Every structure is written in structure tokens, then in C-alpha cells.
């Protein structure tokens, strides 16, 4: 149980009043395509929209923090979930920009699609003033994603084997429901419990909805969470096979992969078994 | 007569200098000692590995937790003893520090190595592990290592004590001690340590235990002497 820390709220209020003036020492820019974001402009937006959760210091300790799970991102640590860069490296400006637009499913972080692209670029520039890492390090080299190969049953079947071999099911469960044997023990880097992604839910995953996004998620890992990077151990062609199989786990989400999988006797049986609807008394009713 | 005396004196001087050369470390002192505890340490519980049969079958009796490992005579194992002040930073050695995952445990439980030294992580198990060190100062990464894949090679550029975990196997937990110089030791079964080859100077010797924290002592080395230092940690019963 976390208690409301009134002293901290008071300090935050005072700091918030003082900081927009005091923090002018550091200037940062962000570059996304043709857009250039400026931290000065971003600061105004940050202290309007973001600081309530992320705090005046950007350390995730805003006044709403006690009520927010998972905890707001700590920009001082500069560990970011959704990247196109290898695990342990800083993300690209465009990664942060896309994250702002997308928001995070299953968390309190909303989508900021209502802001303009320029607003979001400015915010990215300001977020980068909180950690000295943005001065001393460059973002990692983005992982290379080869063009997606043609979808085949063989590719889906190989992905199914990889799901077993790489032991994805230990956390995500044999059916991809996020209920594997280790699922209940998982904690994030703040020691807060965290759920593995449930592929069977209708929700998109945290870091995007496209096949390319799925590819990126397991190759770069989701830093700050239990999800590791597989970039060193999975070959690019194998990674695409795994993406194709993962799509078939999303049985509520129509996709070419799901259609092809249901076209085989094995796939049809697996998907049909998942579609069994549970009644409140626990007896199964097939649709 | 006088001539003879001079010769004898000369021989004595020569012999003395020869003796000095024979000493392998003319100016190197040693700090050695033991790490013990007082009070009652918490009892380490057996680890339930039933969720990972390929590891569980490697043990006749389940292994116990390793966050506090004691030995006869109240000695403490897995304590890092190092020079925290007084010694210059050393360049990293060319050899790699090896951290092995075997039987769903980390061997060694506490691995000490130097800043920028190669860290090699090996998986000898028949199951996938993920290596998730949780640094505060260094970069946080998290990598999967399925069975039969090559070792992971990494390094850290800042001195820090880093807890390490495997999210797939929640009982797995170890530590990296990233240190600035080469004067360090990790206590073994006897709880003793030796820090040799210390030039004359004033040093701060620090002992770190993952649950009990750290304590330091000042030690002055003035020649080829051996100074004995004892660290006593207060055990916490829970």
C-alpha cells in the first residue's frame, strides 16, 4: 500500500511553478523526418499535459504516481519500451514520437494523437533534456528488418516450432493467452507486477499493430520489462516465421495468417478449440 | 685487518640487497582476513524448481537460496572485498569474466570483474534463460539465451553492484560487482580473502554483501607487510 505523500505533492507544486523558468539551461532538438522539435516549446506542453504523472523532474514521480500502475516512465533513467534500436540503447526520436501518438495499451498512458505532429516532436525534444545519456550516447543503430517473405503454411508451422523452442509459452502461455507458468511471477524494473501480452485479447500490443512492429518487439525486447531481446539468437527469416505464427494466436483479429491457418485441418481444430465460449457455470458451449 | 673488515661489510651489504631482490614484491603489502557474521541469519529456503523439470532433475535434494551463504565458524561466503579508495583505477584485463547458468542457478552467484572487462555469459542448461541485469548507472538490457546458443559478450563502463535475474525462472538471482581496480576478492567457503600486491599507501577496504550492505575500514600499508582485517556483519533473521 502506498500512502499519499502530501509533502511530495507540495514540493512538486512549488517546483512545477519554478522549473519552467529554471530549466532553461539545457536545449535539445528532435528530428523526425522533416520535422524538427525544440525543447523550449516542448517544455510548455510538458508542464501542461505530462508532468502530472511523469513529474517536474521527469523521474516518473508526479503527483498522480501513487495511483498509476505500471508506474509512469522515468525519463531520467532513459529506459524505453518501444524502440527500433537494440536492447540497452537509446531509442530513435521517431520511436518516442510514435509512442506519444500511440499511447500504451493496458496502462494509464493515453494516445496523444490529438496533439499536432509539431507538438509531439517538441515534446520528444524536451523529454531528452532529463537524462544526461542523450548528451553522452547516440541512439543505437536500428535493427535491420528484411522484407517480409511470402506467407506460407510452412512459415506458420516453423513459427509454431520456434514458439516452443524459444519457450515463448513460459510467459505467454501455450495458447498465447498470457498465462504461462512464469506469468504470475513477472515484475518490471520497478519491481511492480506486470502481465505478459495476451495474444487472444482484441487489444493491439503495446508497441504497435503491424507485422513489422511485432518483428521489432521480440528482436529489440521491451526494455524495463521481462521481455528480452532475441536479436542475437533468432535469424531474420526465422523471425518472420514467428511473426506469422503469432498472428494466428490472435484468433479474434482477422488476418491473412489466421485465414491461411484455419484453412488447414490442424489450424482449424486449434482455432475452433480456442473459440469455445465459457458459460458462467463453466460448461463449454461451441459456437 | 681493516681491509678484511671492509670486505666483510661489503659482503653483508650485498647479501642484504640480494635478500631484498629475492622478495617478489619489494614494496607490495597484503591485506587479508575473514568475513563473519554475528546473530542469526535467515534460513535459506529450498528452491522449488518443479516448473522447470530439466533443472529440477539435476538435484538429488533441492538447492537452497543463495542470498546469504554461511559456513562453519560463522563465516560469510559471496562477500566482495575490494579497495574502494586509495588505489588508482586499473585498465581492464584481457581475460573475460565468465558467468554460467547451470541447473537454473548462476555460477558464481556473485561475479566480480572490472570496468570495461569482457563479461561472458554462458547457458549450459537445456532451457531458455533470459539474462536481465538491473543496473542503475549502467545501461539496462535484457537478452534471451536459448539452449545451445553462443555465449553473450557484454561489458559495463561504470562501477556498480548490479542484481541479475532471469524472468522466466523467478528463483534465479545473482550479482555482478563491477569494480574500478584489480584489487578485489570474493569470499569462498572459508570466508577468507587476500588482496596482495598493494603498494605502500592508505587504503579503504570495503566488504559488500548483497543483503547486509557494505562496511569499510581504513588500512595503511607501509611495506611488504601483511595486515589482517576482519569484517563482522550483523545478520538479519528475516
Q: Write the DSSP assignment of chain B as a string of letters.
A: -HHHHHHHHHHHHHHHHHHHHHSS-TT-EEEEEEEEEES-PPPPPBP--TT-HHHHTT-SSPPBP-SS-EETTTEE-S-EEEEEESS---PPPSSPEEEEEETTEEESSEEEEETT--EEEEE-SSS-EEEEE--SSS----EEE-TTPPPEEE--SS-EEEEEE-SSSTT-EEEEEEESSS-EEE--TT-EEEEEEEPSEEEEEEEEETTTEEEEEEEEE-SS-EEEEEEEEEP---
With 0-12 CB in 10 A as exposed, 13-18 as middle and 19+ as buried, what is A204?
middle
CATH number at residue B94: 2.60.40.420
Residue A24, pLDDT score: 46
CB B77 within 8 A of CB B189: yes
Residue B82's pLDDT is: 98
Residues 34-93 (A) with a CB less than 8 A from some CB of B: 77, 79, 86-89
The model's pLDDT over B169-178, given as tens digits with 9 standing for 90+, comes to 999 999 999 9
The mean of the pLDDT values for chain B is 90
Confidence (pLDDT) at A201:
86
Asked if A161 and A227 sit in the same domain, the reply is: yes
Q: Are residues A170 and A248 in the same domain?
A: yes
* Each residue's pLDDT tens digit, A162-196: 999 999 999 999 999 999 999 999 999 888 999 99
Quote the cell numbers at residue A72: 509512469
Q: Inform me whether the pLDDT recorded for B187 exceeds 50.
A: yes
How confident is the model over B47-77, as pLDDT tens digits?
999 999 999 999 999 999 999 999 999 999 9
- Domain match, A56 and A166 both: no
Q: Which domain CATH number covers A157?
A: 1.10.760.10
Considering only the beta carbons, identify the residue of B128, B142, B149 that sits closest to A229.
B142
Report angle CA B63, B67, B68 to the nearest 5 degrees.
95
**Residue % of chain A over a pLDDT of 90:** 78
Q: What's the ipTM?
A: 0.83
Domain that holds residue A245: 153-285
Q: Do A157 and A131 have their domain in common? A: no
Contact B141 A223 (CB under 8 A): yes
CA distance A167 to A162: 8
Cβ contact B127–A167 (<8 Å): yes
Cα torsion angle, A253, A254, A256, A258, sign: positive
Q: What is the pLDDT of residue B20?
A: 41
Same domain, A81 and A198: no
Q: What is the pLDDT confidence band of residue B23, given thresholds at 50, 70 and 90?
A: very low
In angstroms, rounded to a whole number, what is the distance separating the alpha carbons of residues A229 and A220? 5
What is the chain A residue with the closest CA to B146?
Answer: A166
Report whether the peptide linkage leading into residue B60 is cis, meaning its omega lies within 30 degrees of zero: no
**pLDDT tens, residue by residue, A117-155:** 999 999 999 999 999 999 999 999 999 999 999 999 999
For residues A50 and A127, membership in a common domain is answered with yes
Same domain, A112 and A83: yes
Q: Do A228 and B130 touch (CB under 8 A)?
A: yes
Handedness of CA B134, B135, B140, B145 (dihedral sign): negative
Per the structure, the count of domains in chain B is 1
The domain in which residue B133 lies consists of 88-182
Place of cell 671492509: B6
Q: Is the pLDDT of residue B15 over 60?
A: no
Domain boundary among the residues A72, A103, A136 is at A136
What CATH number is attached to the domain comprising A44? 1.10.760
- Does A210 map to a domain? yes
**Are A270 and A164 part of one and the same domain?**
yes
Please report whether residue B78 resides in a domain: no
Q: Answer whether A228 sits within 8 Å of B170, measured CB to CB.
A: no
On whether both A92 and A213 belong to a single domain, the answer is: no
Statement: residue B218 has pLDDT above 90: yes
Q: Give the integer Cα–Cα distance in Å for A119 and A96.
A: 13
In degrees, rounded to 5, the angle at the alpha carbon of residue B102 between the alpha carbons of residues B99 and B104 is: 110
pLDDT at B6 exceeding the cut of 80: no
Nearest-by-CA chain A residue for B127: A167
Q: How confident is the model at residue B198 (pLDDT cuts 50, 70, 90)?
A: very high
The answer to whether residue A268 is domain-embedded is yes
The answer to whether residues A101 and A223 belong to one domain is no
In a domain, A110, yes or no: yes
Q: Is residue A146 part of a domain?
A: no
Band (pLDDT 50/70/90 cuts) for residue B237 is: confident
Residue A68 lies in a domain: yes
Counting the structural domains of chain A, the total is 2
In a domain, B165, yes or no: yes
Ranges in chain A, pLDDT < 50: 1, 20-24
Contacts of B141 in chain A (CB under 8 A): 86-88, 221, 223, 229
Amino acid at each position: 500500500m502506498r500512502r499519499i505523500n502530501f509533502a511530495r505533492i507540495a514540493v512538486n507544486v512549488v517546483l512545477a511553478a519554478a522549473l519552467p523558468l529554471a530549466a532553461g539551461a539545457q536545449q535539445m532538438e528532435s528530428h523526425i523526418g522533416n520535422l524538427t522539435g525544440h525543447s523550449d516549446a516542448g517544455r510548455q506542453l510538458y508542464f501542461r499535459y505530462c508532468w502530472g504523472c511523469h513529474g517536474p523532474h521527469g523521474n516518473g514521480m508526479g503527483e498522480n504516481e501513487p495511483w498509476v500502475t505500471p508506474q509512469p516512465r522515468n525519463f531520467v533513467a532513459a529506459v524505453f519500451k518501444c524502440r527500433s534500436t537494440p536492447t540497452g540503447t537509446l531509442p530513435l526520436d521517431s520511436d518516442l514520437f510514435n509512442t506519444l501518438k500511440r499511447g500504451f495499451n493496458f496502462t494509464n498512458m493515453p494516445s496523444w494523437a490529438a496533439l499536432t505532429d509539431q507538438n509531439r516532436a517538441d515534446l520528444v525534444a524536451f523529454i531528452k533534456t532529463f537524462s544526461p545519456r542523450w548528451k553522452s550516447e547516440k541512439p543505437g543503430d536500428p535493427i535491420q528488418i528484411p522484407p517480409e517473405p511470402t506467407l506460407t503454411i510452412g512459415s506458420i508451422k516453423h513459427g509454431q516450432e520456434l514458439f516452443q523452442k524459444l519457450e515463448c509459452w513460459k510467459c505467454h502461455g501455450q495458447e498465447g493467452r498470457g498465462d504461462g507458468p512464469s506469468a504470475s511471477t513477472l515484475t518490471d524494473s520497478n519491481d511492480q507486477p506486470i502481465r505478459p501480452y495476451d495474444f487472444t485479447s482484441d487489444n493491439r500490443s503495446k508497441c504497435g499493430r503491424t507485422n513489422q512492429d511485432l518483428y521489432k518487439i521480440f528482436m529489440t525486447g521491451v526494455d524495463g520489462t521481462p521481455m528480452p531481446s532475441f536479436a542475437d539468437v533468432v535469424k531474420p527469416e526465422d523471425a518472420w516465421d514467428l511473426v506469422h505464427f503469432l498472428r494466428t494466436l490472435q484468433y479474434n483479429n482477422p488476418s491473412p495468417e489466421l485465414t491461411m491457418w484455419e484453412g488447414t485441418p490442424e489450424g482449424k481444430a486449434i482455432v475452433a478449440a480456442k473459440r469455445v465460449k465459457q458459460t458462467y457455470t463453466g460448461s463449454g458451449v461451441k459456437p | 685487518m681493516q681491509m678484511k673488515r671492509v670486505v666483510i661489510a661489503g659482503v653483508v651489504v650485498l647479501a642484504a640487497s640480494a635478500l631484498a631482490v629475492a622478495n617478489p614484491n619489494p614494496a607490495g603489502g597484503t591485506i587479508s582476513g575473514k568475513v563473519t557474521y554475528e546473530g542469526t541469519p535467515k534460513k535459506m529456503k529450498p528452491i522449488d524448481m518443479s516448473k522447470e523439470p530439466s533443472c529440477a532433475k539435476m538435484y538429488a535434494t533441492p538447492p537452497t537460496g543463495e542470498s546469504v551463504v554461511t559456513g562453519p565458524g560463522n563465516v560469510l561466503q559471496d562477500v566482495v572485498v575490494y579497495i574502494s579508495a586509495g588505489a588508482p583505477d586499473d585498465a581492464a584485463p584481457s581475460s573475460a569474466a565468465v558467468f554460467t547458468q547451470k541447473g537454473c542457478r548462476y555460477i558464481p552467484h556473485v561475479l566480480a570483474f572490472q570496468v570495461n572487462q569482457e563479461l561472458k555469459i554462458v547457458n549450459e542448461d537445456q532451457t531458455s534463460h533470459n539474462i536481465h541485469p538491473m543496473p542503475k548507472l549502467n545501461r539496462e538490457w535484457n537478452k534471451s539465451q536459448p539452449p545451445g546458443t553462443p555465449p553473450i559478450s557484454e561489458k559495463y563502463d561504470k562501477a556498480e553492484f548490479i542484481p541479475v535475474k532471469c524472468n522466466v525462472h523467478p528463483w534465479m538471482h545473482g550479482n555482478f560487482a563491477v569494480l574500478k581496480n584489480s584489487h578485489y576478492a570474493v569470499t569462498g567457503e572459508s570466508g577468507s580473502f587476500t588482496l596482495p600486491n598493494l603498494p605502500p599507501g592508505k587504503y579503504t577496504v570495503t566488504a559488500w554483501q548483497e543483503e547486509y550492505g557494505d562496511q569499510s575500514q581504513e588500512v595503511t600499508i607501509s611495506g611488504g607487510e601483511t595486515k589482517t582485517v576482519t569484517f563482522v556483519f550483523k545478520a538479519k533473521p528475516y
